[in-house]
């Protein structure tokens, strides 16, 4: 009996140890499990860090030296370009004597798409002589963020700046309290406009929305994203939209405070762990009064972006299968780029840059391992493993979590819109801003920095795509091509073309010759 029990006990222990060994095998010897990664991409694709796609360029970049003259030119602020903001602080057109009624808008998308929608909503209220209710921000379907207008923007400041243009109210009076998001979600309602064309004209609103407003005293427009044209619009309305964007929309004190804390810590050498590095950083990035300089990099490389681009990012068959599966679930496979090969997409500049590639671009432009780099990003696809090459090039790279304590982050953690607002603040205060690929934050920050004449590097995506396809390219030639291809792309004024956004290209609608 005892002997039988002894054998049974040790047999069970042996089974437990064997099971533990099986579980630990992938972590201890990941190379042995790469075939499993191909077979089950959802389980293994994001475990394994892809090898550098441009190993020779990366090695050369790590050993390159930048002439002092090039460093000085790189950090020098933009010279005045003969343009200045022309939106006056006083009333542009005057407030109407009598309001036509109340207008509500329901804004989807991320923070910066909603920001542009707010500006358009003010302009539509002006067109209709309506009273604007503080816009409702929809729950973001990707990040599940339910942050409200009041949590992000200073409502009192917003109302005060626009008080001579339009009437703005925080909430509807009691007789219209029935007009809620829930009310419009359950049935067709006479007071809801849901057929607004993309980039509708001012006349469309007068002909289709004003009659509803006059009949019911209230109108709700949903969806309301990109619903007002940029062309054939009165100059006063264009300037009003810019007044909203650049003057009326300021963040609440909590966001400004966190942003300012980050800026101070980025400009201070105290967070560099090596005393030797501290002295070198101050010497290189000093502007004469002891304050350090930093670059903000908007690294737009989340899973959503990677899947939608239909490009190959070096993760092998497992990653391609995982992204294809994600693409099928989210968009049912309907991605326009998917009909092109990776090479075709890169030649056209339609692939977002990986962290490794944006690091090589920065190194070729003249930034080095003593550059303070702030990473503005919600979530990077592949996590820290994907960023490793970028961190090798820029060991002084920081983000919100590395610079703020858990107590400081407590009020914004898990809220994508609040975190994006903090990043926006830090981006606007940085000496140089660069975005890895176009998007709503890129467009919003680039336009705002153009308005303030701040240095902003716009990557030449088509050139870079072609350069990264050339695997035989040596570092000296890559560096030369990058520098030549980015002359005039450091924030120089570009006049808005037809159909382009005034929020990205504020000249000449909202900027005047100095």
The pLDDT assigned to 377 comes to: 80
Q: How far apart are CA 174 and CA 183, in angstroms?
A: 15
- Indicate whether 162 pLDDT > 90: yes
The pLDDT assigned to 92 comes to: 66
The pLDDT assigned to 364 comes to: 97
On whether the CB atoms of residues 111 and 139 are closer than 8 A, the answer is no
- Indicate whether 354 pLDDT > 50: yes
* Rounded average pLDDT over 426-453: 94
Q: How far apart are CA 73 and CA 384, in angstroms?
A: 32
Region of 199 please: left (phi>0), alpha (psi -120 to 50) or beta. left
In the three-class reduction of DSSP (H, G, I as helix; E, B as strand; rest coil), residue 348 is classed as coil
The pLDDT assigned to 216 comes to: 98
C-alpha distance from residue 373 to each of 78, 266, 272 (Å): 19, 8, 12
The pLDDT assigned to 271 comes to: 47
- Looking only at the bridges linking them, the beta strands covering 511-513 and 83-85 are antiparallel
- Indicate whether 336 pLDDT > 80: no
* Rounded average pLDDT over 30-39: 37
- Indicate whether 42 pLDDT > 70: no
Top pLDDT among 18 and 85 is at 85
Average pLDDT over all residues of the chain: 86
Q: How far apart are CA 426 and CA 286, in angstroms?
A: 19
- Indicate whether 181 pLDDT > 50: yes
Considering the chain, what percentage of its residues have pLDDT values greater than 70? 83
- Indicate whether 28 pLDDT > 50: no
* Rounded average pLDDT over 375-384: 84
- Indicate whether 3 pLDDT > 50: no
Give the burial string for 458-491 (b: 16+ CB within 10 Å, else e).
bbbbeebbbbbeeeebebeebbebbeebbeeebb
The pLDDT assigned to 222 comes to: 94
The pLDDT assigned to 43 comes to: 44
- Looking only at the bridges linking them, the beta strands covering 192-193 and 136-137 are unpaired
- Indicate whether 407 pLDDT > 70: yes
Top pLDDT among 93 and 464 is at 464
End-to-end CA distance of the chain: 99
Q: What is the pTM of this model?
A: 0.86
The pLDDT assigned to 154 comes to: 98
| Interval 115-130: pLDDT, tens | 999 999 999 999 999 9
- Indicate whether 493 pLDDT > 90: yes
Which residue blocks in 63-192 are alpha helix, DSSP H? 68-75, 111-128, 149-152, 155-161, 181-185
* Rounded average pLDDT over 435-453: 92
The pLDDT assigned to 477 comes to: 97
- Indicate whether 46 pLDDT > 60: no
- Indicate whether 16 pLDDT > 50: no
| Interval 215-227: pLDDT, tens | 999 999 999 989 9
- Indicate whether 202 pLDDT > 50: yes
Tell me which of 288-297, 395-404, 409-418, 463-472 is least confident.
Answer: 288-297
Q: How far apart are CA 215 and CA 213, in angstroms?
A: 5
The pLDDT assigned to 327 comes to: 85
97 band by pLDDT with thresholds 50, 70 and 90: confident
Number of residues that make up the chain: 514
C-alpha distance from residue 359 to each of 233, 253, 282, 344, 356 (Å): 41, 33, 22, 23, 5
Top pLDDT among 386 and 154 is at 154
The pLDDT assigned to 20 comes to: 45
| Interval 204-213: pLDDT, tens | 999 999 999 9
Please name every residue paired with 137 in a beta bridge, in sequence order, or none if there are none: 107
12 band by pLDDT with thresholds 50, 70 and 90: low
- Indicate whether 448 pLDDT > 80: yes
The pLDDT assigned to 86 comes to: 83
| Interval 235-282: pLDDT, tens | 999 999 999 999 999 999 999 999 999 999 999 975 444 333 333 444
* Rounded average pLDDT over 232-236: 94
Give me the sign of the Cα torsion angle 336, 340, 346, 347: negative
Q: Is 501 exposed, middle or buried (0-12, 13-18, 19+ CB in 10 A)?
A: middle
Which residue blocks in 336-429 are alpha helix, DSSP H? 342-347, 355-365, 383-393, 400-403, 406-409, 416-429
On whether the CB atoms of residues 204 and 231 are closer than 8 A, the answer is no
Top pLDDT among 88 and 428 is at 428
On whether the CB atoms of residues 431 and 371 are closer than 8 A, the answer is no
* Rounded average pLDDT over 411-424: 93
Which residue, among 300, 99, 316, 378, has the nearest Cα to 213 in the 3D structure?
99
Q: How far apart are CA 282 and CA 265, in angstroms?
A: 13
Considering the chain, what percentage of its residues have pLDDT values greater than 90? 64
Q: Is 277 exposed, middle or buried (0-12, 13-18, 19+ CB in 10 A)?
A: middle
- Indicate whether 233 pLDDT > 90: yes
Greatest mean pLDDT among 138-147, 287-296, 318-327, 403-412 = 403-412
Greatest mean pLDDT among 93-102, 164-173, 268-277 = 164-173
Which residue, among 254, 253, 294, 296, has the nearest Cα to 408 in the 3D structure?
254
Tell me which of 12-26, 298-312, 401-415 is least confident.
Answer: 12-26
Top pLDDT among 495 and 45 is at 495
């Amino acid at each position: 009996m005892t002997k039988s029990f002894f054998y049974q006990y040790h047999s069970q222990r042996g089974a437990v140890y064997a099971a533990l060994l099986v579980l630990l095998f992938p972590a201890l010897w990941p190379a042995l499990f790469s075939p499993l990664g191909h077979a089950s991409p959802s389980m293994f694709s994001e475990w394994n860090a892809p090898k550098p796609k441009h190993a020779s360029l990366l090695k050369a970049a790590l050993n390159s030296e930048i002439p002092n003259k090039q460093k000085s030119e790189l950090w020098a602020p933009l010279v005045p370009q003969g343009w200045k903001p022309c939106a006056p602080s006083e009333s542009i057109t005057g407030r109407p004597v009598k309001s036509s009624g109340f207008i509500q808008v329901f804004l989807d998308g991320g923070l910066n798409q909603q920001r542009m929608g707010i500006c358009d909503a003010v302009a539509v209220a002006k067109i209709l002589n309506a009273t604007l209710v503080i816009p409702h921000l929809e729950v973001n379907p990707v990040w599940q963020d339910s942050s409200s207008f009041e949590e992000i923007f200073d409502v009192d400041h917003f109302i005060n700046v626009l008080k001579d243009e339009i009437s703005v109210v925080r909430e509807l009076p009691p007789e219209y309290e029935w007009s809620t998001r829930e009310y419009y979600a359950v049935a067709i309602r006479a007071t809801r406009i849901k057929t607004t064309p993309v980039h509708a004209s001012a006349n469309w609103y007068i002909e289709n929305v004003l009659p509803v407003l006059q009949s019911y005293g209230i109108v709700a427009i949903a969806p309301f994203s990109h619903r007002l044209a940029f062309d054939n619009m009165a100059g006063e309305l264009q300037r009003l939209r810019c007044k909203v964007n650049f003057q009326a929309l300021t963040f609440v004190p909590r966001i400004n405070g966190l942003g300012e804390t980050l800026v101070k810590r980025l400009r201070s050498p105290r967070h560099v762990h090596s005393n030797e590095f501290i002295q070198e950083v101050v010497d290189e990035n000093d502007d004469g009064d002891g304050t350090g300089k930093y670059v903000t990099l908007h690294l737009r490389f989340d899973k959503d972006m990677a899947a939608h681009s239909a490009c190959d990012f070096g993760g092998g068959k497992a990653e391609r299968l995982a992204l294809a599966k994600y693409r099928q679930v989210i968009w049912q496979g309907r991605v326009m780029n998917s009909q092109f090969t990776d090479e075709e997409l890169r030649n056209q500049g339609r692939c977002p840059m990986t962290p490794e590639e944006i690091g090589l671009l920065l190194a070729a432009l003249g930034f080095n391992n003593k550059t303070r780099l702030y990473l503005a990003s919600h979530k990077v696809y592949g996590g820290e493993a994907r960023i490793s090459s970028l961190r090798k090039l820029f060991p002084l790279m920081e983000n919100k979590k590395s610079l703020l304590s858990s107590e400081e982050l407590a009020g914004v953690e898990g809220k994508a819109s609040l975190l994006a607002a903090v990043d926006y603040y830090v981006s606007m205060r940085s000496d140089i801003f660069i975005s890895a690929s176009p998007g709503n934050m890129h467009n919003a920050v680039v336009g705002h920095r153009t308005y303030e004449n701040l240095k902003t590097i716009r990557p030449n995506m088509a050139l870079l795509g072609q350069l990264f396809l050339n695997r035989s390219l040596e570092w000296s030639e890559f560096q030369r091509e990058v520098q030549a291809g980015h002359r005039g792309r450091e924030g120089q004024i570009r006049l808005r073309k037809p159909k382009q956004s005034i929020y990205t290209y504020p000249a000449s609608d909202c900027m005047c010759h100095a």
